[in-house]
A and B are shown apart, each in its own frame.
Chain A
Amino acid sequence: MKSMINAKQLTHEFFRRDEEGNVEGISVALDHVDLDVAPGAFIAILGHNGSGKSTLAKHINALLTPSEGTLLVDGMDVSDPERTLSIRESAGMVFQNPDNQIIATVVEEDVGFGPENMGIPTDEIWQRVESALKGVGMWKYREHSPNRLSGGQKQRVAIAGVMAMEPKCIILDEPTAMLDPGGRAEVLQVAHELNRKKGITIILITHYMEEVVDADYVYVMEKGHIIMDGTPREIFSRVDDLIAHRLTVPQITLLAHRLKAAGLDIPEGILTREELIKALCP
């Protein structure tokens, strides 16, 4: 089957230059990364600050291009400048700070901005705006000013803006880092719905381990490398490894791990409260 995202030996080097333009240093942000994401998958990426997650995300959106290796998005090579626009239509991106992504003064105009730039006819733009805003549960706010919305609502508008471009894949780069628990839950719910109902491939980058539990597959990055990959259960069974790599596991997984160490008969890799309760009271 065709991949949604296929990276082979993907490498990206940033050159640091002094005022005269001489190269002072090179940092290798992605170091020969291989990765393959099937269409319709829900993928999570974990990794310490500076491990290369955003650099990878920006390649998928053709905001950056490889120094070495290849990256195909929906079969298109991100190194081919003629494909840049099609790639951006295929793979939309949502960033951490909702305040920096919303441009218009009215919610529906903001959501219509992307398709308008793509040259979509006006009638269709409005259809897409309606369906996108309904999709994220923000239709009733269509005439509101974005800066009066909560953080979670702003992120949902940002996601609607990406949806209106009808991408096959959405990359969410720490979309919940600035949100309260309610806002985090809203964003996660919308991402899962888009994945389930519309088959949109989701790539979620996050530092909240709880948000990863329902992903299909998890990649863990360190210093530009992918150092672990597997299902959430496989990854979160490796409690000590994750902690050694600046990460952690969901609070429930850690509790289960400690109870097991204290002698209770509990399997490794418990992910949810339901699973722990079942293990405790069979």
Chain B
Amino acid sequence: MSIILDHVTYTYSEKTAYEIKALDDVSLSIKDGEFIGIIGHTGSGKSTLVQHLNGLLRATSGTIYYNGQDIYDKDFNLKNMRTKVGMVFQYPEHQLFETTVFEDVKYGPKNQGLSDKEATNRAYDALADVNFPDEYFDQSPFELSGGQKRRAAIAGVLAMEPEVLILDEPTAGLDPKGQRDILNLIRRMHESSGRTIILVSHSMEDVAEYVDRIIVMDEGRVFLDGAPDYVFSHTDLLEEKGLAVPQVTYLMEELRAKGIPIEGQPTTLEMAEKEILRLHKAGVF
């Protein structure tokens, strides 16, 4: 399910004194099955970008192709695309509104026009996919813990069986275990179904560990785009833009500056551990 953005620009409050160009000539190609992380300082355009991918915002200029079709073409079924590109917003618990978790998760498929029976099946599958405990199915979503609410909200999007899943800072505010659980869940979703995943995150350590490709936004433009080891080899540039590299990457750079022959660009704890153990065996440490 490829998505191509061709010179997309988006301006909020166009032709007013408050005009803000939130996306500035963005061209990107997202291939089927990719696991992409989007990072950038607050206000760099991450949320605006992802809202274009499912047609919630319409580019001021430029266009977007979904599987080769221009989504702004008048024959293109935008409503249908919105169910194929599922979006979990920042603080998704604010979108839970039905009386029970189960009804909430059923809402999406029902809205897609599925029968009650089909929607029920979808809801069961989606809640099972996110490991949501059965005994809470009939609870009010408001009574759940932070992590459970996020799971319920993600299940609500999964129940529509999207081909692309976009998550806008899905772990913000969760405790470390809750963060890890949600990220592992997203990883499983990617591995088991080959779904395209787009994860917006403020944690450099998390994107380094989970995604295959990182897109760095700055002032509405794509500033860097590549594999984690490539992106995180630009420490100074990233810091200038209010970002950072993972703690272990800083460590390895500092060791290298001391003359230790570090190989490659370790970006995760496992990679750093392996490299230090290799050097240890070689007698360097």
A121 on the interface (CB 8 Å rule)?
no
Closest to B251 in A: A273
**Is there an interface contact between A181 and B204, defined as CB atoms closer than 8 Å?**
yes
**Is there an interface contact between B242 and A182, defined as CB atoms closer than 8 Å?**
yes
Pick the contact of B173 from A177, A210, A280 — CB < 8 Å?
Answer: A177
Chain B residues in 8 Å Cβ range of A263: 280
B283 on the interface (CB 8 Å rule)?
no
Chain B residues in 8 Å Cβ range of A210: 247
Chain B proximity of A37: nearest CB distance (Å): 23
Chain B residues in 8 Å Cβ range of A250: 247
Chain B proximity of A117: nearest CB distance (Å): 29
A185 to B260, CA, bound (A): 28
Beyond A210-B247, A277-B251, whether A181 also contacts B242 by CB under 8 A is yes
**Is there an interface contact between A49 and B145, defined as CB atoms closer than 8 Å?**
yes
Per-position 1/0 for A239-282, Cβ under 8 A of B: 00001001110111011001100111000000001001100110
The interface on chain A, measured as residues whose beta carbon lies within 8 A of the other chain's beta carbons, has a size of 39
A254 to B270, CA, bound (A): 10
**Is there an interface contact between B175 and A258, defined as CB atoms closer than 8 Å?**
no
A177 to B201, CA, bound (A): 11
Closest to A273 in B: B251
A146 on the interface (CB 8 Å rule)?
no
B174 on the interface (CB 8 Å rule)?
yes
Chain A residues in 8 Å Cβ range of B246: 251
**Is there an interface contact between A180 and B42, defined as CB atoms closer than 8 Å?**
yes
Interface residues on B, range: 35 or more
Interface stretch, picked from B99-107, B185-193, B271-279, is: B271-279
A250 to B239, CA, bound (A): 20
**Is there an interface contact between A273 and B247, defined as CB atoms closer than 8 Å?**
yes
A103 to B242, CA, bound (A): 26
Closest to B179 in A: A207
**Is there an interface contact between B42 and A150, defined as CB atoms closer than 8 Å?**
yes
Pick the contact of B176 from A246, A264, A280 — CB < 8 Å?
Answer: A246
B78 on the interface (CB 8 Å rule)?
no
Chain A proximity of B147: nearest CB distance (Å): 6
For residues 35 through 89 of chain B, which have their beta carbon under 8 Å from a beta carbon of chain A? 40-43
Of B175, B178, B239, B269, which is in contact with the most chain A CB atoms at under 10 Å from its CB? B175
Of B169, B176, B180, which is in contact with the most chain A CB atoms at under 10 Å from its CB? B176
Beyond A179-B42, A181-B243, A251-B269, whether A281 also contacts B260 by CB under 8 A is yes
Chain A residues in 8 Å Cβ range of B276: 255, 259, 264, 280
Chain A residues in 8 Å Cβ range of B179: 207
Beyond A180-B42, A250-B247, whether A207 also contacts B260 by CB under 8 A is no
**Is there an interface contact between B248 and A151, defined as CB atoms closer than 8 Å?**
no
Chain A proximity of B51: nearest CB distance (Å): 18
Of A179, A209, A210, which is in contact with the most chain B CB atoms at under 10 Å from its CB? A179
Per-position 1/0 for A134-153, Cβ under 8 A of B: 00000000000000001110
Some 6 contacts from A to B, beta carbons below 8 A apart, are A49-B147, A180-B41, A183-B41, A252-B251, A264-B277, A273-B250
A residues touching B (Cβ–Cβ < 8 Å)?
47-50, 96, 150-152, 174, 177-183, 185, 207, 209-210, 243, 246-248, 250-252, 254-255, 258-259, 262-264, 273, 276-277, 280-281
Q: Which 3 A-B pairs have the closest CB atoms?
A: A182-B242, A246-B177, A151-B42
